Amino acid sequence: MKRAGIYFLLGIVCFYLDTLLAMLSPINIFGLQFVLVPRLTLMFLLLLTFYRNVYTAIILGILLGLMTDLYFGQIYGVYLISYLICILTIEKFFSLFYRDHSMVFLIVLVSIIGLDILVALIYSMVGMMQFDLIQFLFFRMPTTLLLNAVLLIFIYLILDSRQKRKRTIDMKIK
């Protein structure tokens, strides 16, 4: 129970950092507008799915998806459904492969692209936005992937240093 509370607090921190980092966007360079979309909440949920428990990730995905919908969305349920689809798809897909760091890194970044496209398609289907795939591929996806890759590297460095510390404490002295 204590661990679930810690995961929930970490999810809240990721959600809060998402909102803070979203204020960096959009960036205008040479008259072109680039959009940076941080997805720390999704990265947290996917890493929780990979390394801990899919059921915990689903419960937190529901709670954090509702929070994201209430804070960012005009249509409620878009992020909730999108987070759950990403978690369940990645869990089923990733059970086939070995969980090494490079594969997890690649899968998380592909999931971010999938989430952005899914949310944009849902909003375009109801007429709330126009989705241009070419503009998305050239002006939103590269900058979003770059930002999230840097954030994911920091998350891995923090988790890896914690794992090294944990290993040295748990080792037997001969």
Q: Tens-of-pLDDT digits for all 174 residues of the chain?
A: 677 788 889 889 999 998 898 888 787 778 777 778 889 999 999 988 888 888 999 999 999 999 988 887 777 888 999 999 999 998 887 776 666 778 888 889 999 999 988 888 888 888 777 877 888 888 788 889 999 999 999 887 776 665 555 544 444 444
Q: What is the DSSP letter of 23?
A: T
Q: Is residue 65 situated within a structural domain?
A: yes
Alpha helices (H) along the chain: 2-22, 40-51, 54-71, 78-94, 101-125, 133-135, 141-170
Q: Is residue 171 situated within a structural domain?
A: no
Residue 110: the pLDDT is 92
Residue 164: the pLDDT is 56
Residue 157: the pLDDT is 79
Residue 98: the pLDDT is 61
Residue 172: the pLDDT is 44
| Residue 137: domain span | 2-165
How many domains does the chain fold into? 1
Q: Which residues contact 110 (CB under 8 A, 6 or more apart)?
A: none
Q: Is residue 72 situated within a structural domain?
A: yes
Q: Is residue 56 situated within a structural domain?
A: yes
Residue 169: the pLDDT is 45
Residue whose structure tokens are 């689809």: 85
Residue 124: the pLDDT is 85
Measured between alpha carbons, how far is 69 from 78 in angstroms, rounded to an integer? 7
Q: Is residue 94 situated within a structural domain?
A: yes
Q: Are 24 and 144 in contact (CB under 8 A)?
A: no
Q: Bridge partners of 34?
A: 27
Nearest CA among 141, 95, 148 for reference residue 120 = 141
Peptide bond into 142 cis (omega under 30): no
Residue 162: the pLDDT is 58
Q: Is residue 35 situated within a structural domain?
A: yes
Q: Is residue 114 situated within a structural domain?
A: yes
Residue 167: the pLDDT is 46
Residue 87: the pLDDT is 93
Q: Is residue 144 situated within a structural domain?
A: yes
